Amino acid sequence: MNIELRHLRYFIAVAEELHFGRAALRLNISQPPLSQQIIQLETETGARLFNRTNRSVQLTAAGHQLLQDARAILLQVEQASDRAARLHRGEEGELRIGFTSSAPFTAVVSDALYQFRQRWPQVHIQMQEINTRQQLAPLHDGRLDLGVMRNTPLPADLRHQLLLSEPLYAVVHWAHPLATAEKISVAALAAEPFLFFDPQVGTALYSEILALLHRYQIKPYITQEVGEAMTILGLVATGLGVSILPASFRRAQLADVVWLPLEERDALSELWLVWSAEREINNQMRHMMALLQQNKA
């Protein structure tokens, strides 16, 4: 069967006008080609679609059924075309983002997510909380479109943009002797029970903070190792020890925790946007990347 969409459009015009001349004018073609197209359609379907006389044109039962189906087919084609165009423009589809636990606490990320949802509500954003090192493989093989992570060595196929460079803070219990200081050195934490990340979890903050301490010849007295920064904060709030965390976690607002600026100028942590250079950057990604860059200013 060789029925084309133009056959259906011509048929619908004749079926609605019930007059070949008016249908031809509506379609902006001459009447003989229109009649030939209807004859061809009837040949392809194997059914008479119109009862024709010198005075009238009427739909047959088969014609009534085809009219209903043809309208549905053209509507479906139009909707499919519109969906494809919206997907291409980044107005529909899916965006898969990996993020570290600290990312939602940064305004640059939370504001961009909110703005994206307001502008493109039909795009499904799939957020996956996953630490920095564990994001690398999914970004490489396409299971993630974008990654929001702490600075870390990247494979050759991954690219990054700086989203945020934020200070690291010491965090202590409100009753700790250091809690009243305006600013401290990392050396002040050398003998304190230190609450830190579990090295097996693979968070980039583990290496970053440890490197900071080692640069100042400090070997921390680690008494607890946990997987999440929020767990560290919870333990600091109980008075079990001290720690160092990025400033963005201050948005957690735990009443029993005091945040102390560090004197060291290199006590900084970077937040990166990462993507694969070997995969297509679609418009959903472009929209999010643009918002993140806009909000970091």
Rounded to the nearest 10 degrees, the angle between the axes of helix 61-88 and helix 5-17 is 130
Q: How confident is the model at residue 2 (pLDDT cuts 50, 70, 90)?
A: confident
Which of 163, 154, 182 is closest to 105 using CA atoms? 163
> Can you tell me the distance from the alpha carbon of 42 to that of 63, in angstroms, rounded to the nearest whole number?
9
Q: How confident is the model at residue 221 (pLDDT cuts 50, 70, 90)?
A: very high
Sign of CA dihedral 191, 216, 99, 258: positive
The predicted pLDDT at position 202 comes to 67
DSSP secondary structure string for all residues of the chain: ----HHHHHHHHHHHHHS-HHHHHHHHTS-HHHHHHHHHHHHHHHTS--EEE-SS-EEE-HHHHHHHHHHHHHHHHHHHHHHHHHHHHTTSSEEEEEEE-TTGGGSHHHHHHHHHHHHH-TTEEEEEEE--HHHHHHHHHHTS-SEEEEE-----TTEEEEEEEEEEEEEEEETTSGGGG-S-B-GGGGTTSEEEEE-TTT--HHHHHHHHHHHHTT---EEEEEES-HHHHHHHHHTTS-BEEEEGGGGGG--TTEEEEEBS-TT-EEEEEEEEETTS---HHHHHHHHHHHHHH-
Task: State the average pLDDT over residues 242-260.
Answer: 92
| CA 190 to chain CA centroid, nearest Å | 41
Spell out the domain ranges in the chain. 5-89, 95-296
Question: 5-89 has which CATH code?
Answer: 1.10.10.10
Q: Is the pLDDT of residue 35 over 70?
A: yes
Q: Is the pLDDT of residue 144 over 90?
A: yes
Task: State the average pLDDT over residues 242-248.
Answer: 95
Cβ proximity of 106 and 99 under 8 Å = no
* Mean per-residue pLDDT of the chain: 92
The predicted pLDDT at position 83 comes to 86
CA dist 197 → 211, 213, 243 (Å): 13, 14, 10
Q: Is the pLDDT of residue 131 over 90?
A: no
> Can you tell me the distance from the alpha carbon of 48 to that of 34, in angstroms, rounded to the nearest whole number?
16
Q: How many CB atoms lie within 10 A of CB 26?
A: 15
Domain 95-296 class, CATH top level: alpha beta
Structure tokens belonging to residue 219: 């070997």
Q: What is the pLDDT of residues 71-113, one digit of tens each?
A: 999 999 998 888 888 888 888 899 999 999 888 889 999 999 9
Task: State the average pLDDT over residues 261-272.
Answer: 95
Q: Is the pLDDT of residue 15 over 80?
A: yes
